[in-house]
């Protein structure tokens, strides 16, 4: 308003709509934009009921459009060289770091599976091991561990002095347990230890890519889509394997087919 004074009549439906679209264009989530609209609505209702400065709530009729769905990308497959670089880096890590990597690379765990993992859900011994992931949620699941994952997690649990007494398997100095951000920070720190040449090869690999790579390796080992969906926790609301999600790991690329062509026996000799 004039002289910097607040003028309630400036809060119009078009202005509110424009402001929310600006927030969305800046990358704010749909839920954040909805919260902002709710705050504006409450403020305007106060102006109407307590101050009699507005006759109508300008947020009525303001629709927040959800973001356009992005084209799903093909889950990443690591090259043998990338796998070797990461595994060599992990060999230099402490027991905790080795266990974190193992759960992503050898068990295909989500970040949330790892940071939320509690001791009560961890059943790991010197010869066998399994985890209950997902807590009490409907999509919770029990998975048996490969020997590589079990061995490194068991070794960590046997030397877990600092975390003794915590409900969570992985704790943090700043919070009751390791956070998503903390796990990603650890993985970035791990990659920074690589030699310059190797660092370029793994620079854009995320921790979540370890889960994707596990899925590809499992399929190559002969797992069915249903088995993989169960193991990864890709379950429908009815408790069935969400194979439509898991099928992403079977998407074929030109390079993949080109390699298969080499396996075809040439018939030129008989023509």
What is the mean pLDDT of the segment spanning 255-263? 71
Q: Is residue 54 part of a domain?
A: yes
Per residue in 114-168, pLDDT (tens digit) is 999 999 999 999 999 999 998 655 567 899 999 999 999 999 999 986 667 789 9
Q: Final residue of a domain: which of 197, 218, 239?
A: 218
Q: Is residue 225 part of a domain?
A: no
Torsion angle of C-alpha atoms 75, 81, 85, 86, degrees rounded to 10: 20
Do 97 and 193 reside in the same domain of the chain?
yes
Q: What is the pLDDT of residue 115?
A: 94
CB 97 within 8 A of CB 186: yes
CB 246 within 8 A of CB 225: yes
Per-residue tokens: 144 = 């048996």
Do 107 and 180 reside in the same domain of the chain?
yes
Q: How far lies 27's CA from each of 23, 31, 77, 143, in Å?
A: 7, 12, 28, 36
Do 128 and 179 reside in the same domain of the chain?
yes
Q: Is residue 226 part of a domain?
A: no
Do 174 and 110 reside in the same domain of the chain?
yes
Do 50 and 160 reside in the same domain of the chain?
no
Directed axis angle between helix 30-49 and helix 13-25, to 10°? Answer: 160
Q: What is the pLDDT of residue 261?
A: 79
Q: Which residues neighbour 223 within 8 Å (Cβ) at sequence distance 6 or greater? A: 231
Chain centroid to Cα 216, Å, comes to 17
User: Quick check: 233 pLDDT over 80?
Assistant: yes
Per residue in 19-61, pLDDT (tens digit) is 999 888 877 788 889 999 999 999 999 999 998 999 999 999 9
CB 48 within 8 A of CB 55: yes
How far apart CA 58 and CA 9 sit, in angstroms, is 10
Domain coverage including residue 116: 80-218
Do 105 and 149 reside in the same domain of the chain?
yes
CB 119 within 8 A of CB 166: yes
User: Nearest-CA neighbor of 117 among 95, 107, 125, 127?
Assistant: 107
DSSP 3-60: GG---GGG--HHHHHHHHHHHHHTT--HHHHHHHHHHHHHHHHHHHHTS---SS-TTT
Do 23 and 109 reside in the same domain of the chain?
no
Do 185 and 87 reside in the same domain of the chain?
yes
Do 35 and 119 reside in the same domain of the chain?
no
Do 62 and 118 reside in the same domain of the chain?
no
Q: Is residue 254 part of a domain?
A: no
Pick the more confident residue, 147 or 249.
Answer: 147
Q: Is residue 144 part of a domain?
A: yes
Most confident region among 161-175, 186-200, 217-231, 256-270 by mean pLDDT = 186-200
Q: What is the number of domains present in the chain?
A: 2
Q: Is residue 229 part of a domain?
A: no
User: Across the chain, what does the average pLDDT equal?
Assistant: 86
Do 20 and 131 reside in the same domain of the chain?
no
Q: Is residue 246 part of a domain?
A: no
Do 170 and 99 reside in the same domain of the chain?
yes
Q: Is the pTM of this model over 0.75?
A: no
């Amino acid at each position: 308003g004039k002289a910097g004074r607040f003028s309630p009549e400036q809060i119009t439906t078009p202005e509110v709509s424009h402001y929310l679209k600006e927030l969305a264009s800046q990358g704010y989530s749909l839920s954040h934009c909805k919260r902002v609209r709710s705050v504006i609505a409450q403020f305007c209702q106060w102006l109407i009921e307590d101050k009699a400065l507005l006759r109508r709530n300008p947020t009525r009729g303001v629709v927040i459009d959800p973001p356009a769905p992005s084209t799903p990308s093909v889950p990443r497959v690591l090259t043998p060289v990338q796998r070797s670089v990461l595994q060599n880096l992990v060999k230099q890590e402490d027991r905790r770091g080795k266990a974190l990597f193992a759960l992503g690379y050898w068990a295909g765990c989500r970040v949330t599976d790892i940071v939320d993992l509690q001791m009560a859900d961890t059943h790991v011994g010197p010869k066998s091991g399994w985890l209950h992931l997902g807590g009490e949620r409907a999509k919770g699941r029990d998975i048996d561990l490969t020997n590589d994952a079990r061995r490194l997690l068991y070794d960590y649990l046997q030397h877990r002095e600092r975390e003794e007494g915590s409900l969570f398997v992985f704790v943090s100095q700043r919070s009751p347990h390791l956070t998503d951000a903390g796990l990603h920070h650890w993985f970035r720190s791990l990659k920074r230890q690589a030699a310059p040449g190797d660092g370029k090869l793994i620079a854009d690999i995320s921790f979540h890519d370890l889960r994707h790579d596990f899925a590809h390796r499992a399929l190559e080992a002969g797992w069915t889509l249903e088995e993989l969906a169960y193991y990864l926790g890709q379950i429908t609301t009815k408790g069935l394997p969400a194979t439509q999600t898991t099928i992403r790991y079977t998407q074929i690329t030109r390079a993949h087919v080109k390699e298969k062509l080499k396996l075809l026996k040439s018939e030129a000799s008989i023509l």
